[in-house]
Amino acid sequence: MIQSLTVILLYLVSLPLFALTLARQPHKDLPPWAICLSLVATETSTLTIVSVPGVAYLHGYVFLGLAVGYLLGRVAVAWWFLPLHERGATSIYRYVGQRFGIRLQKLVSGTFLLTRLLAEGVRLYAGMIPVSLLCASIGYPIPDIALLMGIVILTLAYTLAGGLKAVVWSDTLQLLLYLGGSVACGVVLFSRSGTDIFHVAPMFTAGLPAFTNPFSVAGAVVGGAILSLASHGTDQLMLQRCLAAKTLKGARAAMIGSVFVVALLFALLSFVGVGLRALWPDYHGAPDALFPQFVLTLPPILRGLLVAGILAATMGSLSSAMNSMAAATKSDFFPKKKLSLRTATCFWAVLLVVTALSFSHPTGSAVVFGLSIASYSYGATLGVFLLAMVGHSRDEANGIAGFITAVVVLAGLAMVRIEGHPIAFPWLVPAGVLATFAGARVFSQLRRMGFQK
């Protein structure tokens, strides 16, 4: 067990040094491949590492279907959304402000901040669980708040010291670490279960109607494409990295390349989940507890590597969130006031700890829960961006009406149940986009009728 902790401590010490050393390079010299890996590290997080094996244990390789939809969505982002923003821009929501007005810009940015706070709180809490289990297994249980504070303080240190450059380079290291850990897990499972790993589960299983199954073919391809259009085309967290690329060509390469890397990660983690089904066919616990429990059965050094990998996923998404939230806060709400990025980053770090402590562990899949949180705002945000791009009217009141309509509709859909199941997260974004356009159109017509009278 001491070996496991040694591996983790070595990682925690080397990560900031590695990131800060590479961060000394000029800001615009970030290579497209590093931005690509940073994108994947940001979007995957601990929820992916912990939850995808549990989903694959039950349903096979269903996550690979999402990768097909992601590819379609990111090609659209690369060609239609990236040219809208200036290289080096600090907030992507300025585009909304330029098209409609500052009030809608602040409304969309504020929604991003609230949604990101909730989603990152779930990620942070989920990332703490394996570390807590490891400490408890050696007889040294650590309170949740102490673990959360430790993770946040370390991440905050290199985020403040190196800014976006340090975040991108640390993301790159962290992604490579948990990719390597996933490969190692697959090798161990194959050695323990043999060829049964290839026959124990079907490639894909559904079991639910299309609108309640997050991984149905239609939901994965159509809903996944529109979800990716929103997450990578209208989310400050993702686009901030692409805007750091030296050229538009480099940004496009990073965006499209990220699909293939995330598909590889989904495949590796799904293989691990199917392998666990071959190894433990009678497991009846929580799906998200499956992979952490398996990690505790590994040899000490590999166990430490895997826990470090989970920490890497947590810290990667956390550093990205703090950096992007601070940039949006300063650019969209305090552009002319003396609010430093350091102060804004520390403010969001404290709120993230409080939010993480407020979450109990989700009873279902944490990754689905996390994606659902984001999807409730992505629809309205994407709708506003599309209105700005293709709509004939630039009236700010119409844009605000459309945005609020989408938020209300999505809040209503959150309570809808079909045969006892909620609407699957890939369908929330298309519903929000349609509601945005409908709300803006209806409000515009009502105003015209009022003026005519």
Residues with Cβ < 8 Å from 275, sequence gap 6 or more? 185, 186, 189, 190, 192, 193, 197
Coil vs helix vs strand at 200: coil
Summarised one tens digit per residue, pLDDT across range 56-114 is: 888 888 888 888 899 999 999 999 998 887 655 667 888 889 889 999 999 999 999 99
DSSP 279-304: H-TT--S-HHHHHHHHHTTS-HHHHH
Residues with Cβ < 8 Å from 16, sequence gap 6 or more? 154, 157, 158, 161, 170
Asked, for residue 445, whether it belongs to a domain, the answer is: no
Summarised one tens digit per residue, pLDDT across range 212-247 is: 777 777 778 888 899 899 989 998 888 888 888 888
Asked, for residue 120, whether it belongs to a domain, the answer is: yes
**Contact (Cβ atoms closer than 8 angstroms) between residue 45 and residue 196:** no
Tokens of 45: 């997080």
Asked, for residue 213, whether it belongs to a domain, the answer is: yes
Asked, for residue 383, whether it belongs to a domain, the answer is: no
Asked, for residue 26, whether it belongs to a domain, the answer is: yes
**Alpha-carbon span 125 to 115, nearest angstrom:** 16
**Contact (Cβ atoms closer than 8 angstroms) between residue 227 and residue 73:** yes
Domains of the chain: total: 1
**What domain range is 134 assigned to?**
2-361
pTM to 2 decimal places? 0.85
The CATH number for 225's domain is: 1.20.1730.10
**Alpha-helix residue ranges (DSSP H) falling in 78-143:** 94-99, 102-137
Asked, for residue 369, whether it belongs to a domain, the answer is: no
Reported as a pLDDT band with limits 50, 70 and 90, residue 436 is very high
pLDDT at 36 over 80: yes
Asked, for residue 65, whether it belongs to a domain, the answer is: yes
Summarised one tens digit per residue, pLDDT across range 112-159 is: 999 889 888 888 887 777 777 777 776 777 888 888 888 898 888 878
Asked, for residue 378, whether it belongs to a domain, the answer is: no
